[in-house]
Amino acid sequence: MSCSNHNNNNNNNNNNNSLNYLLTVAWKNDSVVMIDQTKLPNKLVYVTCKDYKEVANAIKNLIVRGAPAIGVTAALGLALAAIHSEAKSLSQLLVDLDSAFTVLKSTRPTAINLLWALTRVMEKAKGKKSVYEVKKAILDEALKMAEEDIEINKQIGRTGAVLFDNGDVIMTHCNAGSLATTAYGTALGVIRAANEDGKQVSVIATETRPVMQGSRLTAFELHHDGIDVRLIPDTAVGYMMSRGAIKRVIVGADRILRTGHVFNKIGTYQVAILANMHKIPFYVAAPFSTFDFKNNPEDIVIEERSEEEVIKIGKKRIAPKGVQAFNPAFDVTPPELISGIITEKGILKPPFDNLYQTLKKWQKKK
């Protein structure tokens, strides 16, 4: 089952016309509408998903990707399951929601935002007295989450922008921008905020093999928004750093543990090692919803994707027939390589020994 395609180049599929950057996912006419990121950068097209199974497929197939965007999309998927359920009783509705929860949760294993978002929305079903009340509560919460995501990213941006100086050249890996969130982005949100503050900050984006989130998505959205961006092959990171061409690095995260270990797109770890070697500050930007206080590094499943992504570029084979490939989608950057973790309420600094206590305290801050 797949979502239907449509062209919508004016990006006005949202109720918020004040946005001047891309809106990745939105609720429209009882459907979930999202940019089809598999078609970027060549076509800016939207797909409409009418049921939660279509939403699950969209997440699995990277039509929508990036930890916060996956979370919001899954929450809206659960809202679709709620409003389309034909259950007549509360207990039957909860059975329907549980099935949708399980399907949506299984789409991608590494980004904690997925489970966080689904759990938060499901919590709203508790204590309700009627089918109508549950359906309304689930939809309201999912919509609230989508809106909050933009505000949280702006807060991350404002918090982190102080770390950047006028004229800085910032390296980023993968895409932690508008396209990885409802809008504005986390790592790219900090770059946006610095530019909004009048600092002329430019970006060096890695291509991010094998799915090319850097060249297809980061370069696309920064170019779209008029932010200076240059692309480099992943293999040029060390060279650029050794030439003094990079002032700082900023990336997003799929999951951050209480130990300060950061799970992010494959290749992040080697960028962090090179930054450390060249004494270049390496920052991570992520919302509270990306923190996982329960698990240890060895408990986390690293998604392994199809070897097709490695042995082919698009439809073209680039490796000999019969050769196998291994395609881990994420890696782990240890805390000792990280100069700071930028959240919506403040910047966590090393050593990250009291990360859990600090975040708990900040969560209570207005």
Interface residue with ligand MRU among 111, 171, 190, 275 (CB under 6 A) is 111
For residues 49 and 58, the answer to whether their CB atoms sit within 8 Å is yes
Interface residue with ligand MRU among 32, 56, 65, 85 (CB under 6 A) is 65
Nearer to ligand MRU by Cβ, of 71 and 335: the residue is: 71
Amino acid at 31: S
Binding segment for ligand MRU (CB under 6 A), chosen from 12-20, 162-170, 180-188, 224-232, is 180-188
Indicate which residue of 254, 292, 299, 353 is catalytic: 254
Helices 67-84 and 52-60: crossing angle in degrees, nearest 10, is 160
CB < 8 Å & 24+ apart, contacts of 220-225:
220/40, 220/41, 220/179, 221/21, 221/22, 221/175, 221/177, 221/178, 221/179, 221/185, 221/188, 222/177, 222/188, 222/191, 224/21, 224/22, 225/20, 225/21, 225/22, 225/178, 225/192
Q: Work out the burial of residue 167: count CB atoms within 10 Å of its CB; fewer than 13 is exposed, 13-18 middle, 19 or more buried.
A: exposed
Q: How far is the CB of 66 from ligand MRU (least distance, A)?
A: 4
Binding segment for ligand MRU (CB under 6 A), chosen from 41-49, 66-74, 137-145, 197-205, is 66-74
Q: Is 140 a catalytic residue?
A: no
Nearer to ligand MRU by Cβ, of 159 and 264: the residue is: 264
Interface residue with ligand MRU among 193, 271, 329, 359 (CB under 6 A) is 329
Q: Dihedral angle at the C-alpha atoms of 231, 187, 113, 20, nearest 10 degrees? A: -90
Number of residues that bind ligand MRU (CB under 6 A): 18
Q: Is 335 in the site for ligand MRU (CB under 6 A)?
A: no
**What gap in Å lies between CA 77 and CA 52, rounded to an integer?**
5
Site track 125-154 with ligand MRU (rule: CB under 6 A), x = hit: ------------------------------
Q: Is 257 in the site for ligand MRU (CB under 6 A)?
A: no
Interface residue with ligand MRU among 55, 58, 67, 114 (CB under 6 A) is 67
For residues 285 and 189, the answer to whether their CB atoms sit within 8 Å is yes
Q: Is 160 in the site for ligand MRU (CB under 6 A)?
A: no
Position closest to ligand MRU via CB: 252
Contacts with ligand MRU, residue ranges (CB under 6 A): 65-68, 111, 174, 176, 180-181, 186, 213, 251-254, 264-265, 329
Q: Which residues are catalytic?
A: 254
